[in-house]
Amino acid sequence: MSNIGGVPFYILEFGDELVYFTPYTITLFLLALVFTLLVILSRPERQVDIAFGGDAYTTKQISVDEMRFRRFMSIACGLASMGAMVTGDIFNFTLFTAMVGITNVGIVAAVKSPHVQNAAYQYGLVALSATVPLFGAAAVYAASTGSLSMIELAGGTLPAVPVIAKSLLVIGVIGEGMAPFYAAKAEMFRAPGAPYVIMCSLSSLLIFLRVIEVVMLG
């Protein structure tokens, strides 16, 4: 039990599925929670365009409808990240990760700029294809060890998890918004509205921190 980010303070069980709080997961969970609260409370920034050669500048206007939708999507993204941080079940982790991918697309999808729409679409294609290795990894976990519970995997009594399952899991998480596939996502950040867009980055950062722990199990 020592290699899952410390001894769990609290394990919340729903039958076979469980949620556990260790020093590591609780830190990540609080980070996601605080940022979700910030998203709920803050007002969107208005992007400033500065005209070169003069001292003129313009701010972009964001309609209330657009802001509402994006705020909703950011909150959904925050909830999905929180779920992914504390879940003790491999399949739930992959589901939460896939949900973070969808909501990341959703956060910028309401922006009317064709450039942003195009980038969001391309990123969405990558995120959708990343669900293949994600769910595949969860299935191979279940097939090779007979359990999806992280606590049991960390217990050391089950057969070792094959490297292929771990690498599929990491590839899946990377596809949902990490480094090599980040190019399309960076373009999406041309969308105005700071706290919401930053939720995209923060959620994938948190997911990445968590998947390190998950891969080290079993």
Enumerate binding residues for another protein (CB under 8 A): 91, 95, 98-99, 101-102, 105-106, 109, 114, 117-118, 120-121, 124-125, 127-129, 131-136, 138-140, 142-143
Q: Which is nearer to another protein, 176 or 213 (CB)?
A: 176
Give least dist CB 41 to another protein, A.
27
Q: Which is nearer to another protein, 73 or 211 (CB)?
A: 73
Q: How far apart are CA 97 and CA 147, in angstroms?
A: 19
Give least dist CB 149 to another protein, A.
12
Q: Which is nearer to another protein, 88 or 124 (CB)?
A: 124
- Non-local CB neighbours of 23 within 8 Å, separated by 6+ positions: 5, 6, 9
- Non-local CB neighbours of 50 within 8 Å, separated by 6+ positions: 56, 57
Q: Which is nearer to another protein, 27 or 117 (CB)?
A: 117
Nearest to 165 by CA among 173, 155, 177: 173
Give least dist CB 131 to another protein, A.
6
Give least dist CB 114 to another protein, A.
7
CB 21 within 8 A of CB 9: yes
DSSP state, 180? G
DSSP 52-106: TTSS-EEE----HHHHHHHHHHHHHHHHHHHHHHHB-BHHHHHHHHHHHHHHHHH
Q: Which is nearer to another protein, 82 or 120 (CB)?
A: 120
Give least dist CB 129 to another protein, A.
6
Q: Which is nearer to another protein, 26 or 130 (CB)?
A: 130
Distances (CA, A) of 103 to 51, 167, 186, 197: 33, 24, 16, 11
Give least dist CB 124 to another protein, A.
5
Q: How far apart are CA 177 and CA 127, in angstroms?
A: 7
